[in-house]
Amino acid sequence: MTPRAKRGQQVPPPPSDDEWELRFGTKESLSFPELEKQFPGNCAEAKERLRTALTVRTDVQKPLKGRLDRRALRGVELEQWQYDISSGARLWYCVDPVAHVVWLTNASAAHPTATTSTNRRAPRNR
């Protein structure tokens, strides 16, 4: 039986020399091992990029916007990013440059509802 992930715990494997350390930052991030089972290749690629190119904007990796662009973790306000694992699965993370840690903040097999706008206007009748 695989031990369950805990907040603050390091995401395996440990980083090598120049790589950033990945850690589970919130309870919403603890489902990342389940995403790894569903999307092993994509998650391995995500971990590689988060350890080495964590703030490089790509088609699948970008900073969150609006009220989601920053998040307080352990008393420090950090920039928050998103990595698209698949067409629906997402991984959110914060970059702590002082501690040299990437904190996973949300791992979801479905598109996170926090990014869905609830303030959409109905189409106008002409």
Counted domains in the chain:
1
Whether residue 125 is contained in a domain is answered as no
Is the pLDDT reported for residue 123 higher than 70?
A: no
Whether residue 74 is contained in a domain is answered as yes
Whether residue 9 is contained in a domain is answered as no
Half-sphere exposure of 15 (CA within 13 A, CB side): 17
Instruction: Read off the amino acid at residue 109.
Output: A
Write phi, then psi, for 53 (nearest 5 degrees): -135, 55
Q: Which of 91, 107, 102 is nearest to 21 (CA)?
A: 102
Domain residues for the domain of 47 are 21-112
Whether residue 107 is contained in a domain is answered as yes
Residues 6+ apart with CB under 8 A from 126: none
Strands 101-108 and 21-24: parallel
Instruction: Read off the amino acid at residue 105.
Output: T
Whether residue 36 is contained in a domain is answered as yes
Whether residue 117 is contained in a domain is answered as no
Confidence (pTM): 0.85
Give me the CATH number covering residue 80.
3.30.2310.20
* CA separation for the pair 89, 74 (Å, rounded): 26
35-48 residue pLDDT tens: 999 999 999 999 99
56-111 residue pLDDT tens: 999 999 999 999 999 999 899 999 999 999 989 999 999 999 999 999 999 999 86
Whether residue 5 is contained in a domain is answered as no
The pLDDT confidence band at residue 4, using thresholds 50, 70 and 90, is confident
Max distance between CA atoms of the chain, in angstroms, equals: 62
Instruction: Tell me the CA distances in angstroms from 117 to 66, 82, 121, one per residue in order.
Output: 11, 17, 10
